[in-house]
Each structure stands twice: as C-alpha cells, then as structure tokens.
A and B are shown apart, each in its own frame.
Chain A
Amino acid sequence: MADGISAPIEHRYSPYTDNGGTILAIAGEDFCVIAGDTRQSEGYSINTRYAPKVFKMSNNSVLANSGFHADGVTLAKQLDQRIQESTGEWYRHAHEKDMSTPAFAQLLATTLYGKRFFPYYTFSIVGGLDKEGKGCVYGYDPVGSFERYTCRAAGSAQNLIQPFLDSQVGITAVNRAEQLSLVSVIRIVKDAFTSATERDIYTGDFIEMFIITQEGVETQLHPLKRD
C-alpha cells in the first residue's frame, strides 16, 4: 500500500469468514433426524433469515454444514456430483446401486482431507440409515477426522446443545436412543434449537429438519425467534 494512503473498507484479506449457524443430528432405531437453523450471519449483521445449510443428497443421505457458508455450498455440490450416476466416478454405474450412507460418510472424510492444506472451513454432520436400516450420524472436523455418533451438534451453539443431547439421548448407542420414538426426537430437536436461540445470536429464524426413514426423506420447516 502506498505511503499515507489507506484503503477505506478492508484492511486485511482472508479467504475465510464465519457465517455462524447451528446443526444437529440424532440417530434413532430405524430413523434419523438431522436439522439446522437457516440464519446466515457475518459479524453482527444478519445476511438473510433463510439460507439452507442442510442438504439432501441424491442417495438419501443428508449433509449439514456449519462454519464458512461458501465452502459448505461448494462441498455439498461437489459431493452430489460425485455420487450421481452420470458424472465423476460413476458410482451408481459401477455398483448398480446408490451409495450407502456409511460409504458417503467415508467419501466426505476423504474429500475434506483432500484439502488438508487449504481446508474447507466447515463443521459437517451426515445423517442417514446404515445397511441394517438403523439410524446413523457421523460428525467431522474441517480436515476430515470423523466418528459415528448417536447424536451430534455442531456450529455456533454446539456448546449449548451437545450437553443437552448427551443428557436426553445418551452418549452411546446402547443408551436411551434406541428407545426414543420419532415424536420424542423431534421434540428434543425443537427444544434444543429454541433454547440455543435464546442465548446464541447466530442461531435463529427457522429450523429446517430432515427426517430420514426407509420410506424416504421428509422435510419440515419450523419458525424460531427472529431477534
């Protein structure tokens, strides 16, 4: 920059920003619920009240991304192309079936690690059904380290929601989760988000919820406080 002349709006460039937002997923016996709020923020400003961050992929897995929105959108787009039959590695042609959710979970880990030295700044969760038809949830860090969970929260209200889920759902698969009905799980998800909205300024506006069963994927939209 020239002597004595300074740029008026930005002083330093970063390829990343934090768009806030919260996501969570709970695995049930034969279903999975995965949800995210729809607020998109930057600093103290709300960009929009409806910017989806939970995406239904073409193989009936559902991917939720919090963190840097632009990376999340790019990641979802790239993965969906990869599992389609007509592009990329032709998974469906090669195997004559849709990719399973556990396989998709591994694909996401590999994709994230592929950008280990210029990471996708996303905290992702994958929800779906495993090969036995049981609900499954996978949680990730931005460079692809992942693990299967019974329930998982991520994003700006992770610290508020995860302890609540641990108490209501249980940490291990042999705990209460197997007994929880879909109705109770949906109630827990709504409670988690309404509570988080009270204290986290980056969470609010709407919950977008995806319910995955053998029959398919159902979407619900519920209002949250907009303040």
Chain B
Amino acid sequence: MNRQDQLLDGFYRRDTYSPRVQDMYPRDQPSAFAGVDPVAHTQSPIVTGTSVIALKFQGGVMMAADTLASYGSLARFRDVERLHKLTDTAVLGSTGDVSDYQHVQHMMERLMIREDYHNDGHKLAPPHLFEYLRNVMYHRRSKNDPLWNRFVLAGHHNNTSFLGYVDLQGTTYQSDTIATGFGAHLAQPLLRKAVESRGGPQNVTEEDAIKIIEDCMRVLFYRDARSLNKFQRATIATDRLEITEPYSVDTEWAFAESIRGYGV
C-alpha cells in the first residue's frame, strides 16, 4: 500500500463514514435498501489515448499528441486525432478514454454555439474555457461518475499564453510545461530542462519548440509501448492557430541490436 492509499484508506472506507443500515433500522424489519445496489457509475477507460505534451515558447504555446487509440494493449485505431481546436485561440488535448473525450468535444461545441448566439462581440478566452472544463470534471468526479481523461488546454489570447491541466479528479494546475501519462515521467524532465536552461519560455523560439517537442515524441515512441510514431502538433500564437497533419520523426534502432536482457 503506497502513501496515498494509506492516507485515503482511513478516510474513504465506506464503513467508517456512512451510517450503517443496521444502525438505522430495527433487526426484525426489512431494510428499505434491501435488494437495491448502491449507485455505482465508476467505470474504467476502454479505448485510450496516451501522452499529451505541451510547452510555452516566445509568443505562443505548442502541444503534441500521437494518433493512436489503444484497446488495452491492442493498437486498435491508428488515426484518431487527440488535439481539438476549441476556438481561434485554444486547443484541447486529451489523454485517457476516447469516448469521454468525444463527449467533451461535443459539449464544448454546444457551449461555443450558445456563446455565439449572444453575438455581443465577446469570445471565450482560454482561461474561461479552462474554468468551464474544470467545473465539468469536478462535478462528474463528485457524482462518482468521472470523465476518464487528463486534459491539456493550450491557448494564446491578447498576447498572453495559457497552458493548463485538468483531470478526472478535478485536479488543476498551470505551468510552462505540461506532460500527461507516460510523458509525465519521460518527457516532462526534458521539457523542463529545455525551458529552464534557456531562462524561461520567453527565450524559447518557435524553431526550438518544434525541435524540443519532436525530441520528446521520439523518446516517447522509443519507450511507451502504447504510443505511435505518427502525431500531430498544434501551435497557438498571435493571430495563428495551426494543427499539423499527422507526421513522423526519424528513429534509429541500430543500437538495439547489441542490447541483451536489461541492456547492461
């Protein structure tokens, strides 16, 4: 049992928190709950996408995700786009359940239409979309019916870059670099090193950012067994939002020839 489980165990065991049925009803009377199972929505992810990585650079944000949707260990769908353009200034990337992601895409689309109907000249900026998404995710986790995703929202609006994360538990944060899934372990250290060694995102050029992103995607393809060397890259900068067609990076496997066992 890890530290987190130990902490939660004492707090969230049902028997310690809920009043017991036998305490509320006399023994000889039938329980009102007899034959009724407790509401249990929680599922598990079925068709899943792996890492999303993103970083801020001088005058914009860049994000990448591969196009694989896995069914367990099966590489089931190889052309699923996991970067979605929300507005002219924001892109949403998703790790985790693909059907939940499509549900969120649909929901955000309806939000956009509702907002457009006002026709008042106001646009939802990235922080607004992020707050909305956080509320949806936190609400679903509170119903014990989570949307099984880790979302990265990247945007650039009024010369301000936005990069935020929200997940199935409603946890949120913003940072200069974000990586989900395996990327949190393999790509995040590379992203942070790249940005911090240059003294911050304002010193990272767009060319740098492309190189950093592609290096990270290559490492992920080498080591993440649920990844694919076919990915899209989104750039959100002043007056420009572009999501590339899926493409690949060069790989070098010759070194693998000499590796035996654990490669010692």
Q: Which chain B positions have C-beta within 8 A of A48?
A: 173-175
Interface 1/0 per residue, B132-166 and A, CB below 8 Å = 00000010011010101000000000000000010
Contacting pair A17 B4 (CB below 8 A)? yes
Contacting pair B171 A15 (CB below 8 A)? no
Q: Which chain B positions have C-beta within 8 A of A118?
A: 142
Verify if A69 is at the interface (C-beta below 8 Å from B): yes
Residues of A within 8 A of B (CB-CB), count: 34
A143–chain B nearest beta-carbon distance, Å: 9
Verify if B185 is at the interface (C-beta below 8 Å from A): yes
A13–chain B nearest beta-carbon distance, Å: 5
Interface residues of B in 35-60 (CB under 8 A from A): 42, 44-46, 48
- Interchain CB contact (< 8 A) of B11 among A47, A49, A50, A142: A142
Verify if A170 is at the interface (C-beta below 8 Å from B): no
- Interchain CB contact (< 8 A) of A15 among B17, B18, B169: B169
Q: Which chain A positions have C-beta within 8 A of B165?
A: 47
Contacting pair A6 B72 (CB below 8 A)? yes
Contact A43 B4, CB 8 Å, known A16-B11, A17-B171 = yes
- Interchain CB contact (< 8 A) of B45 among A10, A43, A45, A69: A10
Q: Which chain A positions have C-beta within 8 A of B7?
A: 18
Q: Which chain A positions have C-beta within 8 A of B12?
A: 14-16
- Interchain CB contact (< 8 A) of B184 among A6, A10, A13, A45: A45
Contacting pair A49 B4 (CB below 8 A)? no
Verify if A51 is at the interface (C-beta below 8 Å from B): yes
Interface residues of A in 1-41 (CB under 8 A from B): 1, 5-11, 13-19, 40
Q: Which chain B positions have C-beta within 8 A of A19?
A: 171
Verify if A219 is at the interface (C-beta below 8 Å from B): no
Contacting pair B172 A70 (CB below 8 A)? yes
Verify if B126 is at the interface (C-beta below 8 Å from A): no
Q: Which chain A positions have C-beta within 8 A of B148?
A: 10
Chain B residues with a Cβ under 8 A of chain A: 2-4, 7-8, 11-12, 17-18, 42, 44-46, 48, 70, 72-73, 96, 138, 141-142, 144, 146, 148, 165, 168-175, 181, 184-185, 188, 226
